[in-house]
Amino acid sequence: MKKVDLGGLSVSAVCLGAMNFGTSTDEKNSFEVLDAFVGHGGNFIDTSNNYAHWLGTGDESETTLGKWLKLRGNRDKLVIATKVGFDRHGKGQGLKKEQIEYWIDESLRKLNTDYVDVYYAHTDDPYTPLEETMGAFDSLVRKGKVRVIAASNYDVWRFMDANRIAKERGYATFKAMQQRYTYLWSSAACPPKYKFNEFTSRERLRFLCDRKLPLVAYSCLAGGGYVNKARFPEDYVLGKRYEVLIKTAQDKGVSPVALVVAWLTNLYRMKDYPTVIPLFSSSGVKHFVESLSGCEMALSDEEMKTLTEA
Ligand SMILES: NC(=O)c1ccc[n+]([C@@H]2O[C@H](COP(=O)([O-])OP(=O)(O)OC[C@H]3O[C@@H](n4cnc5c(N)ncnc54)[C@H](OP(=O)(O)O)[C@@H]3O)[C@@H](O)[C@H]2O)c1
């Protein structure tokens, strides 16, 4: 599988999301999807210290991934990303120094590892000074517990402020942004389901392109909507863009889900778009491999133009 740069790390062009592993996806299916991903050359895996607490305790995803890493003995071949800062049953929210220091050790314990490759601030904490948060992340990098830091669900201006403050103090800076993004646009008139769950705007894309920072695009399969329209989140705008996607998929004889993955991994070829790393998952290996086939799909300049400009 093609690799791309994320803050000096070589990561696969797509990222596997482990959010439901150990909760709605049982251990057997989780391990099969993980094995299929690695078998296809993937190395970039995404989890969090609070996944999926709405279905369990919040430890299940990291614990399941940690068990698989230990059994397979492949930790050093993988790029493991986890996160801190979100709520877990009323605990854990925020990015104060002591919270970051506590939760990294919890993540390392659950993941059966002594370092995390990419450590995300899961969402902004407006009540803690950015100096404190960035200083705490920097000290984890200096201690070797974390290799690269990144941020998810930040407003662009807060992300910029955080990196400016870090740079002024000689601290590590955020090297990627993880945000909700897919082929279809979200209606600006429709608020996101959760306040944090902001869809990637054109401005955000131009910002990342200008700063040469990758976008890790979460929920990029739109809940399975490309296969079953009823599953699209209600804020997605279908219309002509959706028809162009379906027609292009039919003409090429490929699945629309795979085509979305292919389009995302090729977006860097288009003006004003950054490197986009689609982050997706599945509860079973069949769907997952179908989506993954998008990584190997060739898209001509004409196809990219048609899909992008629809
Ligand atoms: N940073 C954040 O705040 C944040 C928020 C949400 C998610 N994430 C990350 O993003 C990852 C993915 O998020 P997500 O689960 O919301 O979205 P997703 O991966 O885009 O969508 C998952 C859904 O798509 C379906 N699907 C996948 N492949 C399919 C196929 N080939 N055909 C039909 N349906 C298919 C799955 O159903 P089946 O299970 O039936 O295949 C599942 O319902 C998570 O695991 C997590 O790592 C991050």
The domains of the chain are located at: 3-309
Adjacent-strand bridge partners of 178 = 152, 216
pLDDT of residue 100: 98
How would residue 226 be classed by pLDDT, with cut points 50, 70 and 90?
very high
The beta-strand segments (E) located in the chain are 3-6, 9-12, 15-17, 44-46, 79-84, 116-121, 146-152, 174-180, 215-218, 276-280
Kindly give the residue spans of alpha helices, DSSP state H, lying in 44-145.
60-72, 97-111, 130-143
How would residue 175 be classed by pLDDT, with cut points 50, 70 and 90?
very high
How would residue 92 be classed by pLDDT, with cut points 50, 70 and 90?
confident
Residue 115 among the catalytic residues: no
Residue 178 near ligand 1, beta carbon < 6 Å: yes
Fold of 3-309: TIM Barrel (3.20.20)
Atom of ligand 1 nearest to the CA of 257: 31
Residue 65 near ligand 1, beta carbon < 6 Å: no
- Of all protein residues, the one whose alpha carbon is nearest to atom 22 of ligand 1 is 223
What pTM does this model have? 0.97
From the CA of 220, how far away is ligand 1's center (Å)? Answer: 7
- Of all protein residues, the one whose alpha carbon is nearest to atom 48 of ligand 1 is 218
Residue 287 near ligand 1, beta carbon < 6 Å: yes
From the CA of 260, how far away is ligand 1's center (Å)? Answer: 13
Residue 21 near ligand 1, beta carbon < 6 Å: no
